Homo-oligomer: A and B are copies of this chain.
Amino acid sequence: MKVFVPGHITSIFYPIRKNNLLKTGSRGAGVSISHGYEVTGETIDENRIKIFQNGEEVGKDESKISYEVAKEFLEDIGSGIKVEQEFQIPHGSGYGASGAGALGTALCLGKICGKTMHEAGKIAHRKEVQLEGGLGDVYPQLVGGVEIRRREGGPGYGWVDNIIADEEWKIVSASFGNLDTSDIIGDKDQSEELKKVATERIDRIVSNPNIKSLMNNSREFSNEMGFLDDFILDLLLELDEVMSIPPSMIMLGKSVFGFVQEDEIQDVKSVLERYDPIFGPIESRIDFRGARFLK
């Protein structure tokens, strides 16, 4: 039994925190991509949780959220648990890696324990929020597509709408380093300004929902909020020269992405490579289906 969970890129967001972790989340917009996580889960005799990432066993601290997700199933399963994660996306660069690991783990173990997709998703969302992996990746990763998070929260609480998008779009992205989310958000986290700017941009996307409007508003959002440092700004301006639809910054990584037409791909990749990425450039498709069990 193997699960695929798409990576998830957020380009606009604002956090909403409540006492109930399932009602906590973010509003915003983003896209699920064809690069992600493949996760398998099984029961083992040895009475502990073993987590492997790309073939190597990792400690509890290196896989904290997946570990805590697995722990939620321990009593039900009544023996040990082995989770194997293979991933094509980096951690800490804004690709929703933590959500993908958590959701993949929850779905595999949820299948063993007899849970629905959304009951498994709730466990992943709760642990993501509680352990500060992220606020708005898990539900979109279940739904897939180019999405607008119109109401915050996990499955059963949030509302993930989709923008109508052509299957043919390619998404090119690259990362130039990790960001500590708290460094960039800092006291802006709960600020009225972030809420106001994001809400205005989200409303514009809802009333004119297409890829161009998504990206224009995302770019303006990161500009207005002062999220773009000189490096990212230079890169985005250079990419503008070779892209018909503006690229934007991935929230929150030192990373950029954009929707690219076939004849633009090579030029876009060349620019990205010149800026010496630590990951990518990768060329993904939109993942329209969301997390799924593979044969």
Contact = CB atoms under 8 A, between A and B. Distances in A.
B116 A206 contact: yes
A247 to B, nearest CB: 22
A118 interface: yes
B164 A118 contact: no
B116 A148 contact: yes
Contacts of A155: 159, 161
A57 to B, nearest CB: 27
Interface in A162-210: 162-164, 166-168, 206-210
B156 A161 contact: yes
Q: Interface extent on A, as a size class? A: 20 to 34
Given A150-B156, A156-B150, A161 B293 contact: no
A164 B110 contact: yes
Contacts of A145: 117
A115 B168 CA distance: 20
Contact of A164 (B107, B159, B288): B107
Interface in A232-276: none
A59 interface: no
**A117, A118, A164, A168 pick with most chain B CB within 10 angstroms:** A164
B295 A117 contact: no
A48 interface: no
Contacts of A148: 116
A292 interface: yes
A60 interface: no
Nearest to A289: B289
Interface string A270-295: 00000000000000000011001101
The 8 lowest CB-CB distance pairs between A and B, nearest first, are A117-B162, A118-B161, A116-B209, A116-B161, A289-B289, A111-B164, A156-B159, A114-B208
Given A116-B209, A164-B293, A167-B293, 8 more contacts: A114-B207, A114-B209, A116-B163, A116-B164, A117-B162, A119-B206, A150-B156, A288-B292
